[in-house]
Each structure stands twice: as structure tokens, then as C-alpha cells.
Structure 1
């Protein structure tokens, strides 16, 4: 990381954090989609559709709430790339632990967590100062992260030991773990912070965890994975991809029933709804496109061709 770039990201982010209150109170939020192109070693955006040169094997991507900062992991280069979400300008790079995968920006915008599979740790980036703040040992093979919107906790899937790590996201300390058998992979949380949804590679299902008692209350079969997952902003549905399949599984989160499977093409992985949940965006890795689905009708309404191997999707306002 270059010191001048660290100063630059600090200046930019002070402005970004200051704009969050305004952003929260705007009637219209930015409709922008960011995604990694694993086959091109780049990050891209819609509607700009300009490739941002990054590192090898770009994997996960996260955007701050107002869309002005985008972070993406290069799992081959052990690096997090930071971009200006408006211009695509490279802001900084951060050398993190080995084989970084999931990256998530804390809801207040001040810090980012990075799951280092090869180091069994979480790297914490101070986004205001533009530097690594600390590294948290969490357990074997951490893969991805979600923050609880109702508390100061973060949850991390530990693929290497079939657990969910619980971390205090303000004190940067491991608190405890929840046992989840079946290779827990990606995860999301209900908007009220009460239920955790965890995809499992070994069993091709979603485990629903009641966080009040940390018990699994449902196991919902989905397609062949590994998987991505997104819980809708109103909490009524969960959408699950399966990269070894060609469908998106739609789950009713009240009954835990599968209500549909939507064919989108081979290799769907990253997926996110827009800020009001009306459109679901899916990165289809083998057909090189972003597919748009109307979440009312559950029908495909658009397909946007991309570069090679679109992998993960980030949308401002949907962490």
C-alpha cells in the first residue's frame, strides 16, 4: 500500500462517511451494479461497463452504501483493490492475509472485513486512515462475512471446521462459534437480525439459524453449488444460486418452502437485489452475462453481456 494513496482514500472516505446520512434520506438511491470478472482479472460496473484493472482471480466485491467506494479481493495476489465507484479510478491496494475471499464493509463505512482462507483470519481495514488495522484469528478456512444490522456482531463461515464464527465488529474479537455441518460457504441475514441463512456445499441446502438460541430451525434443499445467497430487503424471500446448476432457487422465508426455480443459464453465482428488492441481478459465470429478474413475476426481464466469468455482485444499499 502506498502512503500517498492511503491519504487519498482517507480523504475520500471521510467525505463518503459524511454523506451516508444524506444518502439514507434520499428518496432515490443509486441503481448501480458492481461485479468481478474472474476471467479478465478486472472489476466492472453497470451502467458504465468499464473494466477496472485489478489482480489475478478476482473473487468477491463489496460497495459502500452510497456507491462511492468499491472493494474487491484478488485471491491469487492476497490483495484487496479499492476503487472510486463513480469513476473506476484506483484508490489504493491492501495486502491482506493468504487467499482472501469474502470482503464486507461495516455498516458505518469506517472499516472493512476480509476473510483470509489461507491464513485462518479476518483482516480489518481502517477505511478512514487507509491502512490495515488488525488481523483477527477466527478458525479454519473463513470464507465470507455478514454484519448483523441490529448489533455489533459479524458472522463468518468457517469451511474448514463446519462452524460460524461470531466476532465483535467493534472490539475486533472472536466471541464464540456456532456448529454448522456440511461445509458452510456463503451467508446472509434477515433485515431484523434474527435469522442467519447459510448455504452448505456438502449438502446442497440452506441452513436457517435462529440467532436467539443459535439453533438450526430449517434445512432447505437448493441446487448444486457452491452457492451465493441474498435475502430480500423486506425479509420475505431468499434467493440462492448454484454454480454447478443453471437455476436460482427462490425461498419463502415465512414457510421455508421453495416457491420457484428460475433457469438463468449455466453457472450462476453472485446475486443481489436492488435497494427496494424489485430486481434481482445474477452473475452467470459460464454464459458471461448479468441476468435481471423481476422479483414480482419471477421472470427474466433483461440480460447484459459481460466480460469473462462474472463471479460476484455488489449493489449499494444491499450489503
Structure 2
């Protein structure tokens, strides 16, 4: 969205990350009924909660209160959970766990305030005797969190504390690893063992990395570097950087399209770059005329859907021999952001951040069927089939 909301003072000469793990055997303020139905998990940023929607009834059946998850015998978690701003959510391949990234910062109005803050940080360091070039040294840095929950019960399984905000945490396709990025001027991707949560690797990428995603075949990892205007490509096995691709201005995510392509949404560039994940070559650029929230391909309909948060719409593009053509739009809610299609491609769910709702859309008709009230500032969404 429009401005990076990175207000913390950054420390680049200190150790770039610490990890704190806790194993929990308790539930916070949630009901005890298991999620034994096809469900959509909606992350509510300002409410610090997850709304679980039954896809058959389109009603919220369960609410998980992340702010009040407690550690069995260890008191509450070690961060002010009233202010964690949970963001994006991913499901493990075996569908048993969900990973929620909590940057501790509200990104609902944009991601790129980080550039201004990094400049302020350098000035602050220089004033206090630090170097104004290269890595700046300060004593404050915002911590982010990754929360691992049991997808059926809602129990907290693990809490990881990071020395830096993180946009998302994604499981590797084999479920053995958990990948995330530290949103810092000297960006890092960190890789955990998804069972022991031991740190396995740290990989240097571009400035202010946001979303970390896998290619369709799982062989490569794509990292959107917001301040570098680039995407870093990493070999998922060797953990080596194999390419850096220049993109539009302020990319947020490179989203896999289930067709070998990655769809990169550039917020300030107001464009979508399409990258062939096999060759790492950019094949198309679509200029939108609005700031994108997310770009998602419907593989059944062979369409690309892009959320338009400022105008409360979803725009649809279709691919032909002559390139991409605008193929209609759907009126949804204010602050439209994340898009998730059902597995048959017939319906999609859209989070509306500034309405506290989720739109249910008929894909073929390009029409909103209803709105579901959830928490405040809903953002990430993932669909799980039982």
C-alpha cells in the first residue's frame, strides 16, 4: 500500500536476529470446538485475532484471540500481545498447522514508510557518534513474531521472536522448513526446521524484504525486496542466491500462479511484473493505474485477479495471444486486500481491511454475493479443506 510503516530505529551492526521459542499446551480465549469443516482463516490485524469461517455456511464459527494465548506454566508470552498486528497466514502442507506472521506494525495503509525511517535512523546514529554511511548502529529495533498454531484446535504450538519485523512465514512444500524474512535495510531470509524450530540458515537478500514465497515446483524461493525494487531468487535446497530480478517500484510479493509464473505486485509502481520461475526472466508487465493490494491467478479460469484497496474493487485480467486485457471488475469492500479462491475456482474470499468484512464473490459472474463480518482490519487469509 502507499507508505512503508517501519517506525522503529534499526540496528544493523548488532546481531541481526534472535530467536525465542516456547512450546505451548494451552488455548487462549477460543472455544473448544475443533475446526472439522472446510474453513477460511482470516487474520484480523487490529483485533489480534483469527476469524474462522465455515465455507459451507459462510459464517464465522470460531474466533482465536491471539492477544490472550497463554503459556502453560510459564505465564503469558514474552511480548505485549495487545499490539502484535498479525498479518499474513500460511498452512502447512499436511494441513495440521498454521503460521502467522506478526510484525508488530499496521501495514493496512502501506508498506513503504521504511525508507523514511531508515534515513532517520542514519541521521540519529550520526548525531550520536555513529557512522552515517554503511551500517548504522542504534540500540532499538522492533521485534516481530511468528506464531505456530494447531489448525484444528487453535492451540499455540510455538512462538518465535525475531529481532526485526516479518511479513509472512511460509512452510516449504515438503513441510520440513519454515521460511521468513527480516524487514531491515540489510535484509535477511531466515530458515527454521519446522519441527524443532532450530535456525538452519540465514541468507542475505535486498533491502526491506517483505513476502517470501515458493515457486510452483518448490525448487526456488522468491523474496520481494521493497526498498531495492527487486526480487531475490534462492535455490530452496542449497539456500544460495541464484538471481536478482529488477522489478517495478516497491514490490511486496511474488505470488505463484500455478502455471510456472510468479506475479509481482509493485505498490508505488502500480504495476504487476510476471516472471517465468524456470528462467527467472520477466515476461510481461501490466500497468494498473492503481496501487495493488495482491495479485492472484485463478488457475481454473486462467485469469489474474488484483485487489484495488483504494477503490474497493477487484480487477480481472485475461491472457490472450496479444497479452493481458482487462476483463472486468468486482465491487467489494473498502481496503480490499487478500484474495483466496476455493479449490474449484468458483468462489473467492476477499478481506476488506477498512470495513472489517470478508467479501464472498461468484467468480464467473464477477459479483459479490455477501459480506461476512470479522474482526478489525482483516488482512491475510488461507483456506483449509478438512
When normalised by structure 1's length, the TM-score is 0.85
For the pair 1:46 / 2:112, whether they are aligned, the reply is no
Question: Which one has the largest radius of gyration?
Answer: 2
Cα 1:98–1:2 shift into 2, 3 Å = closer
Q: Deviation at 1:184?
A: 1.3
What is the CA distance between 1:237 and its match in structure 2?
1.3
Residue in structure 2 matching 1:251, options 317, 339, 362: 317
Q: Deviations over 1:206-258 (max 9, x none)?
A: 11123454443322233633511211233711111122221111111344111
What is the Cα-based RMSD across aligned positions, in Å?
A: 2.2
Task: Tell me if the contact between 2:87 and 2:167 (Cα under 8 Å) persists in the aligned partners.
Answer: yes
Aligned 8 A contact 2:347 2:360 in 1? yes
Which deviates more from structure 2 when the two are superposed, residues 30-39 or residues 84-93? 30-39
Moved over 6 A (4+): none
Q: What is the DSSP-based 3-state SS (H/G/I as helix, E as strand, rest coil) of the residue aligned with 2:168? A: strand
Superposed counterparts of 1:174-189, under 5 Å: 174-189=241-256
User: Contact 1:30–1:67 (CA<8 Å) still a contact in 2?
Assistant: no
Listed one character per residue, the Cα deviations across residues 33-70 of structure 1 (whole Å, up to 9, x for unaligned) are 11211111223321333133144111111112343211
Contact residue 31 and residue 274 of structure 1 kept, 8 A:
no
Give the structure 2 partner of residue 83 of structure 1. 149
Confirm whether residue 124 of structure 1 aligns to residue 191 of structure 2.
yes
SS at match of 1:107: coil
Q: Which has the higher contact order (CA 8 A, sep 6+)?
A: 2
Q: How far apart are 1:275 and its partner, in Å?
A: 1.9
In the alignment, structure 1 segments of 5+ residues that lack a partner are: 9-28
Matching of residue 34 in structure 1 with residue 100 in structure 2: no
Number of aligned residue pairs:
294
Paired with 1:201 and 1:114, the residues of 2 have a C-alpha distance of 20
TM-score by length of 2: 0.71
The superposition leaves residues 101-122 of structure 1 with CA deviations (integer Å, 9 ceiling, x where unpaired) of: 0222111111121122126111
Mapped contact 2:210–2:252 kept (Cα < 8 A): yes
1:219 pairs with 2:285: yes
Cα deviation code 1:175-195 (max 9, x no counterpart) = 2211113211122123132x2
**Contact residue 223 and residue 249 of structure 1 kept, 8 A:** no
Matches within 5 A, 1:213-292: 213-222=279-288, 224-234=290-300, 236-254=302-320, 255-292=323-360
Q: Which residue of 1 aligns with 2:176?
A: 110
Whole-angstrom distance in 2 between the partners of 1:37 and 1:203: 27
